[in-house]
Structure 1
Amino acid sequence: MLISLAEYAQMHGKEVSGIRRKCINGGFKTAQKIGRNWVIDSEEPLVDQRVTSGKYRNWRKEKKE
């Protein structure tokens, strides 16, 4: 079922602007723009793509050596 971005953001506890930005950048598979409004499938998972492993920690210090 397609829902608005405002409803999707409220379901996941996020800001609408961040969800909209992710839609524009192609971060969702089911997001589509109908007229001037974005809609998304209510079952679409919200995946965080940030690196949390610490892999890039202190990369500037390692590069100088």
Structure 2
Amino acid sequence: MADGVKNSGKFLKDVVSEMKRVSWPTRKELTRYTWVVLGTVAFITVFFAIIDYGISWLVRVLLG
């Protein structure tokens, strides 16, 4: 049990140490990346909606 607690403490210290080394994006970069993600999601949503509509229309035409 004591080894588990000791290992947990070392793990948390290592996590804090690694988080200090992380290169965090600036606010401007983060805003830009967010807009890119939202734009990509919107594009893919519209794309698949059109594909879905097209396939539904084709199935209706074929099945009469």
TM-score range, shorter chain: under 0.3
Quick check: which has more Rg, 1 or 2?
2
Q: Where is the strand percentage greater, Structure 1 or Structure 2? A: 1
- Tell me the TM-score normalized by structure 2: 0.27
- Tell me the TM-score normalized by structure 1: 0.27
Using CA pairs under 8 Å that are at least 6 residues apart, name the structure with larger relative contact order, 1 or 2.
1
